Amino acid sequence: MSIFVLGKMSKVMDTQNCFHCGLDIIKVEEIVFDEKKFCCNGCKTVYEIFSLNDLGCYYDFEKSPGATPLDISGKYDFLDNESIISKLLEFQEDRTAIVSLSIPHIHCSSCIWILENLQRLQKGISASQVNFPDKTVRITYNPELVSIKTIVYLLSSIGYEPYISLDNYETGTKNIDRSLTYKLGVAFFCFGNIMLLSFPEYFEVNEYWLDTYKPFFRWLIFVISLPAFFYSANGYYISAYKSIKSGMLNIDIPIALGIIVMFVRSTIDIAFNYGSGFFDSLTGLIFFMLLGKMFQIKTYSFLSFERDFKSYFPIAITRVNSDTTEESVPVYDIQKGDRLLIRNQELIPVDGILISGSASIDYSFVTGEAIPITKKSGDKIFAGGKQIGKVIDMEVLHSVSQSYLTQLWSNDVFQKDVEQKHKNITDMISRYFTPILLLIAFSSFMYWIFIDTITAFNVFTSILIVACPCALALTAPFTMGNVLRILGKQKFYLKNALVIEQLAKVDTIVFDKTGTITTNKKSSISYEGISFSEENLIQVKNLLRASNHPLSRMLYDFLPEGKRMKTNDFEEITGKGIQGMIDGKHIKIGSALFVEKSEENDIMQTSVHIMIDGVYFGKYVFNNQYREGLDSLFKILKQNYQIKVLSGDNDGEKTTLRNILPQGTELVFNQKPEQKLEFIKKLQEEGKNVMMVGDGLNDAGALAQSNIGISISENVNVFSPACDAILEANEFQKLHYFLKLSKKAMKTIKMSFAISLFYNVVGLSFAITGNLMPLVAAIIMPLSTITIVSFVTIMSNYYAKRLR
Amino acid sequence: MSVIYLLISISIFVAVAFFIAFIVAVRSGQYDDDYTPSVRMLFDDEIKPQKEIQTTEEKQN
């Protein structure tokens, strides 16, 4: 026991962090260089590169900003292929080429600094610019002096491995839509200038000076209002026209009507010298509404909600030709019968048959399963897995588009235009609002026409102007925009504001099992067999040190710290296990077959068997580790929602799950990706609003089909299938809070609707009696806007705080 | 011709000039990334006597 205590104590005493990457340093592996401590050679090398090139500043901006560089030899060989390079480049000429690379590790100011100083590390790079929110770096270089492959290797060697996937292959330069910014700019320009120019009119003093120049001011205002009316507001006309055509009364109809009536009446007013017109209110209205639109758009540009298999798959893969030469080919060119070479950490892009070598394939992107599956030659392997270990050979069975996983994308759900999946809350209100408004307008017109024709027209237009539901239309964007930001701060990233409404409506929640309610970061490990002596345990741990197999790493982390011993005759037999001599003892760790223990062949569990000096001791069993706070989350959710759990796995863990989950939770096992999709569809046909929580590519269909698909991600920068929202895995237990908050957001919107309707009634009372002065309109409009905006912001922040 | 026409047209002209500058700035992509430039501008003053700073940091550790 004493060794254990010592081991633990020593660990506590030197909790030192690596100077480069900030990870804890294991004492025995510590490397001291230049008076600084590093956790591994990789980190030290990066430090060396930086200090040699006078780039030590890297460590001044942020503490331990780096990442350990990974071994990637061979991974980017496809960058020798001219046709692939030309697809990646943004711009190419004899001496200049520009490439944008996505680098997920970008996270602090040190990253920006080092990546913008690349020209000091590599000749031929002339400039590099980081876009931090996008996590991309744009490199300008001279292709005669340096190749893109060299640049990629340079980046990888300093811990900034770029992420190049099939996605990059198809999209050339992206077109960014900036029209809303332009519109907002134009509207603000018009609004500001008109406000200034209308000031004299607000104080209608009969003064010679003002009277003389009235026409000049008024026509100038008219001219300035034109761009706002014709350009900035055109989105409302188009939307109103579309909604009339489709027979749906949305909120844009009264808005467009209000704007047009306001413009026409104001023009008539100044043309016949009836008054000064409502140009100030008109442009202000357009400006505020565009501002609301802008506020609602909160994008997380470093995330993508549209990912399909293309973001996961590599651009190119090594093909072995019949004359045994190797060649990088784009994955789309792979045909049935080709032979491919898959290296360590490479993704298998197509279905095929394993020819040589023994593969250990990590399907965590697909299923969320953490533990790799071992395949022997002759076995069928599916696209989407990642090879871990040695190089393997495979023969292609299906091309990319026909592989098992990619076929899922030919399903209709992925083709559907998701734009108009449902009506939003504002449109629901406007279904009543618009007809009532028109009714009031026409009846007052009919009333006044018998008294005075001119007043009748005045009243009619005033009603449409004052009822223009500016505040109503601003309510939802500002509430949603604010909640979107609150959620984003808590690592719950929504695709757009509409998702909040959907969240509030959910009544059924379907969870994927593996990778969603279990974590693929950790496994719970239990031991079955004869108990070890401490000595043996340390020997086993020392043997495991030498192995890179994921199971070895997990078991190594699980076993207690001990002193380090020398291993002799170490041997790793892929797909079987490891063996070696420690302290004169021969230790074998591996599969049941490897330790000559052939009793049970239990496929339900993953286990590692131990044998020392020919004596079988026992096995370590790896179980899925459920996420923290899972049972309490499910208990709360159960009160308000129907919960179902879907799994692609066999029902080996049925009893465990039954114990954790509350009574009455439906559990469905052995579900293929299409079956998951169908399951959701069936629930929807029963009239349920389904929220799907999943993680891997195999959930992609279900996520797309559900009313709201949430993807759980351990690393939001890299992998998450197409979905409506991305939730960072360690915030999983907050799910209930997010659902509650979205409900409160909807409540806030409803309250604020009441307030804005009240403003409308006040405005209408002015309008119906024929007393609407431009000044009154100019006061009511901004006043209502400001109260609404501050009300919804305060309320949503209050709820966000109180619920927590 | 009153002076007010002149003054107003000058003021409108100035406003339009600024407006055009805004459009040009948006078009050139200056507003696409609103975070990185704020960090980048701080890099110009590189800290020269690195050695000392790092050793003090070590001591704190």
The topology under which CATH files domain A1-164 is Alpha-Beta Plaits (3.30.70)
Structure tokens of A10? 């020593």
The topology under which CATH files domain A314-348+350-402 is 2.70.150
Total of domains in chain B: 1
- Enumerate the domain spans of chain A: 1-164, 314-348+350-402, 492-519+627-742
- For residue A215, give the H/E element and its range: helix A208-227
Q: Which residues of B touch A16 (CB under 8 A)?
A: 61
pLDDT of B52 > 80? The answer is no
Q: Which residues of A touch B55 (CB under 8 A)?
A: 35
Residues 6+ apart with CB under 8 A from A798: none
Work out the minimum CA distance from A190 to partner chain B, whole angstroms: 10
**Phi and psi at residue A360, to the nearest 5°:** -125, 110
A200 to chain B, any CB pair closer than 8 A? The answer is no
CA A609/CA A721 separation, integer angstroms: 36
Structure tokens of A230? 């014709």
Residues of chain A scoring pLDDT < 70: 1-15, 26-29, 71-74, 167-176, 204-206, 209, 298-299, 301-304, 306-309, 368-370, 408-423, 520-523, 548, 550, 574-575, 597-605, 715-720, 774
Three state DSSP letters for A112-172: HHHHCCHHHCCCCEEEEEEECCCCEEEEEECCCCCCHHHHHHHHHHCCCCCCCCHHHHHCC
Decide if B47 and A109 are in contact by the 8 Å CB cutoff. Answer: no
What pLDDT digit, counting tens, does each position of A128-168 carry? 888 888 888 888 998 888 888 888 888 888 888 888 877 66
Decide if A178 and B26 are in contact by the 8 Å CB cutoff. Answer: yes
CATH of A492-519+627-742 given 3.40.50.1000, 3.10.290.10, 3.40.50.720, 3.40.605.10: 3.40.50.1000
Q: How many CB atoms lie within 10 A of CB A196?
A: 14
Q: C-alpha A105: how far from its chain's center?
A: 15
pLDDT of residue A201: 78
Per-residue pLDDT band at B39 (split at 50, 70, 90) = confident
Q: Is the ipTM of this complex over 0.90?
A: no
CA A620/CA A602 separation, integer angstroms: 13
Decide if A57 and B47 are in contact by the 8 Å CB cutoff. Answer: yes
Decide if A113 and B23 are in contact by the 8 Å CB cutoff. Answer: no
Work out the minimum CA distance from B1 to partner chain A, whole angstroms: 12
pLDDT of residue A791: 92
pLDDT of residue A232: 92
pLDDT of residue A422: 54
**Partner residue opposite B33 with nearest CB, options A109, A132, A185:** A132
Decide if A178 and B27 are in contact by the 8 Å CB cutoff. Answer: yes
